[in-house]
Amino acid sequence: MSDNFAKEKAQVVQRLLKHEGRVMLCLDATCQGVEVPRRFASDPGLMLVINVNMPQTIEIGPVAIESELRFGGIPHYCIIPYNALWSAFNPDSGHGVLWQEFIPPIIRHQHGPYPTGPLKPLPDDDAWPLPDAAPEPVKAGVPAFKVIEGNSDIPPPDNNPGRSRPKLRIVK
Protein backbone atom coordinates (compact mmCIF):
# COMPACT_ATOMS: atom_id res chain seq x y z
CA MET A 1 0.00 0.00 0.00
CA SER A 2 1.29 3.43 -0.84
CA ASP A 3 2.41 5.87 1.81
CA ASN A 4 -0.27 8.32 0.61
CA PHE A 5 -3.11 5.88 1.31
CA ALA A 6 -1.81 5.16 4.81
CA LYS A 7 -1.56 8.88 5.60
CA GLU A 8 -4.99 9.58 4.09
CA LYS A 9 -6.62 6.79 6.07
CA ALA A 10 -4.96 7.92 9.30
CA GLN A 11 -6.08 11.52 8.68
CA VAL A 12 -9.69 10.47 8.00
CA VAL A 13 -9.85 8.49 11.24
CA GLN A 14 -8.20 11.35 13.19
CA ARG A 15 -10.57 13.98 11.79
CA LEU A 16 -13.68 11.91 12.46
CA LEU A 17 -12.57 11.20 16.04
CA LYS A 18 -11.63 14.82 16.63
CA HIS A 19 -14.77 16.39 15.19
CA GLU A 20 -17.47 13.77 15.60
CA GLY A 21 -16.08 11.57 18.38
CA ARG A 22 -16.96 8.22 16.78
CA VAL A 23 -15.74 6.16 13.83
CA MET A 24 -16.94 2.90 12.30
CA LEU A 25 -13.96 1.05 10.81
CA CYS A 26 -14.73 -1.44 8.01
CA LEU A 27 -11.86 -3.82 7.52
CA ASP A 28 -10.84 -7.08 5.94
CA ALA A 29 -9.83 -9.17 8.95
CA THR A 30 -8.26 -11.77 6.64
CA CYS A 31 -5.42 -9.39 5.68
CA GLN A 32 -1.93 -10.04 6.99
CA GLY A 33 -1.11 -8.15 10.18
CA VAL A 34 -4.71 -7.81 11.41
CA GLU A 35 -5.07 -8.78 15.04
CA VAL A 36 -8.67 -9.37 16.20
CA PRO A 37 -10.29 -12.19 18.19
CA ARG A 38 -9.95 -15.51 16.39
CA ARG A 39 -13.69 -15.83 15.77
CA PHE A 40 -13.60 -12.68 13.62
CA ALA A 41 -10.31 -13.36 11.82
CA SER A 42 -12.03 -14.79 8.72
CA ASP A 43 -14.44 -11.85 8.25
CA PRO A 44 -13.64 -9.65 5.20
CA GLY A 45 -16.40 -7.23 6.27
CA LEU A 46 -15.64 -6.76 9.96
CA MET A 47 -16.99 -3.49 11.38
CA LEU A 48 -15.52 -2.06 14.58
CA VAL A 49 -16.53 1.14 16.36
CA ILE A 50 -14.02 3.34 18.15
CA ASN A 51 -14.80 6.58 19.96
CA VAL A 52 -13.09 9.19 22.08
CA ASN A 53 -15.06 8.21 25.18
CA MET A 54 -13.42 4.80 25.32
CA PRO A 55 -11.32 4.50 28.51
CA GLN A 56 -8.37 2.94 26.68
CA THR A 57 -5.99 4.68 24.31
CA ILE A 58 -6.48 4.51 20.55
CA GLU A 59 -3.10 4.69 18.82
CA ILE A 60 -3.24 6.01 15.27
CA GLY A 61 0.19 5.11 13.97
CA PRO A 62 1.86 5.36 10.57
CA VAL A 63 0.92 1.81 9.50
CA ALA A 64 -1.96 0.76 11.78
CA ILE A 65 -4.58 1.66 14.34
CA GLU A 66 -4.10 -0.12 17.66
CA SER A 67 -6.27 -0.33 20.74
CA GLU A 68 -7.67 -2.72 23.26
CA LEU A 69 -11.28 -3.28 22.17
CA ARG A 70 -14.02 -5.24 23.88
CA PHE A 71 -15.90 -8.09 22.23
CA GLY A 72 -18.83 -9.24 24.31
CA GLY A 73 -17.23 -7.52 27.31
CA ILE A 74 -13.93 -9.36 26.85
CA PRO A 75 -10.92 -7.15 26.04
CA HIS A 76 -8.68 -8.00 23.10
CA TYR A 77 -5.70 -6.00 21.84
CA CYS A 78 -6.44 -5.21 18.18
CA ILE A 79 -4.18 -4.11 15.35
CA ILE A 80 -5.78 -2.76 12.18
CA PRO A 81 -3.20 -2.12 9.44
CA TYR A 82 -4.29 0.50 6.92
CA ASN A 83 -4.01 -2.01 4.07
CA ALA A 84 -6.96 -3.88 5.66
CA LEU A 85 -9.10 -0.75 6.17
CA TRP A 86 -11.57 -0.16 3.33
CA SER A 87 -13.95 2.38 4.90
CA ALA A 88 -14.09 4.75 7.86
CA PHE A 89 -17.23 6.73 8.66
CA ASN A 90 -19.47 8.07 11.39
CA PRO A 91 -22.68 5.98 11.35
CA ASP A 92 -24.68 8.86 12.85
CA SER A 93 -23.72 11.67 10.47
CA GLY A 94 -22.80 9.57 7.44
CA HIS A 95 -19.51 11.44 6.99
CA GLY A 96 -16.68 9.24 5.87
CA VAL A 97 -14.62 7.71 3.11
CA LEU A 98 -14.93 4.47 1.17
CA TRP A 99 -11.72 3.32 -0.51
CA GLN A 100 -13.07 1.32 -3.47
CA GLU A 101 -9.75 -0.30 -4.37
CA PHE A 102 -9.49 -1.85 -0.88
CA ILE A 103 -12.98 -3.41 -0.74
CA PRO A 104 -12.59 -7.21 -0.68
CA PRO A 105 -14.05 -8.85 -3.82
CA ILE A 106 -16.53 -10.91 -1.81
CA ILE A 107 -17.94 -7.78 -0.15
CA ARG A 108 -18.16 -5.99 -3.50
CA HIS A 109 -19.95 -9.02 -4.97
CA GLN A 110 -22.44 -9.28 -2.08
CA HIS A 111 -23.19 -5.58 -1.60
CA GLY A 112 -22.26 -3.82 -4.81
CA PRO A 113 -19.79 -0.97 -5.17
CA TYR A 114 -20.99 0.94 -2.07
CA PRO A 115 -21.39 -1.58 0.77
CA THR A 116 -21.70 1.12 3.46
CA GLY A 117 -24.25 3.14 1.49
CA PRO A 118 -23.70 6.66 0.25
CA LEU A 119 -21.25 8.52 2.47
CA LYS A 120 -21.11 12.28 2.83
CA PRO A 121 -17.72 13.89 2.16
CA LEU A 122 -15.80 15.12 5.16
CA PRO A 123 -16.23 18.86 5.74
CA ASP A 124 -13.22 21.14 6.07
CA ASP A 125 -11.86 21.31 9.62
CA ASP A 126 -13.14 24.86 10.09
CA ALA A 127 -16.67 23.84 9.01
CA TRP A 128 -17.08 21.53 12.02
CA PRO A 129 -19.21 21.44 14.17
CA LEU A 130 -21.98 21.14 11.67
CA PRO A 131 -25.12 23.11 12.50
CA ASP A 132 -27.49 20.16 12.04
CA ALA A 133 -25.30 17.61 13.83
CA ALA A 134 -25.60 16.86 17.52
CA PRO A 135 -22.09 15.66 18.39
CA GLU A 136 -21.60 12.97 20.97
CA PRO A 137 -20.42 14.49 24.25
CA VAL A 138 -16.67 14.30 24.67
CA LYS A 139 -15.00 13.98 28.05
CA ALA A 140 -13.21 17.06 29.29
CA GLY A 141 -9.48 17.04 28.78
CA VAL A 142 -7.39 15.33 26.15
CA PRO A 143 -9.13 12.94 23.73
CA ALA A 144 -8.37 9.27 24.33
CA PHE A 145 -6.50 8.86 21.08
CA LYS A 146 -3.00 9.73 20.12
CA VAL A 147 -1.20 10.08 16.84
CA ILE A 148 2.05 8.17 16.51
CA GLU A 149 4.41 9.86 14.10
CA GLY A 150 6.82 7.62 12.30
CA ASN A 151 7.93 5.93 9.14
CA SER A 152 5.03 4.33 7.27
CA ASP A 153 7.45 2.17 5.30
CA ILE A 154 7.70 -0.11 8.30
CA PRO A 155 5.47 -3.18 7.77
CA PRO A 156 2.68 -3.92 10.27
CA PRO A 157 3.76 -6.01 13.24
CA ASP A 158 3.36 -9.78 12.94
CA ASN A 159 2.39 -10.90 16.44
CA ASN A 160 5.44 -9.20 17.91
CA PRO A 161 6.47 -11.37 20.87
CA GLY A 162 8.06 -8.36 22.61
CA ARG A 163 4.77 -6.43 22.70
CA SER A 164 3.13 -6.37 26.09
CA ARG A 165 -0.52 -7.26 25.81
CA PRO A 166 -3.24 -7.01 28.39
CA LYS A 167 -3.45 -10.16 30.46
CA LEU A 168 -6.45 -11.72 32.12
CA ARG A 169 -6.20 -13.39 35.46
CA ILE A 170 -8.78 -15.15 37.52
CA VAL A 171 -9.31 -13.71 40.97
CA LYS A 172 -11.02 -15.99 43.47
Taking residues 140-167, report their average pLDDT: 51
Diameter of the chain by CA atoms?
53
Question: What pLDDT score was predicted for residue 39?
Answer: 96
pLDDT in tens, 81-91: 999 999 999 98
* 3-147 belongs to CATH 2.30.30.220: yes
143 φψ region: left (φ > 0), alpha (ψ -120 to 50), beta (else): beta
pTM score of the predicted model = 0.72
What is the reported pLDDT for 145? 52
Per-residue pLDDT tens for 16-45?
Answer: 999 999 999 999 999 999 999 999 999 999
The DSSP annotation for 41-84 comes to: TT-TTEEEEEETT-SS-EEE-SSEEEEEEEETTEEEEEEEEGGG
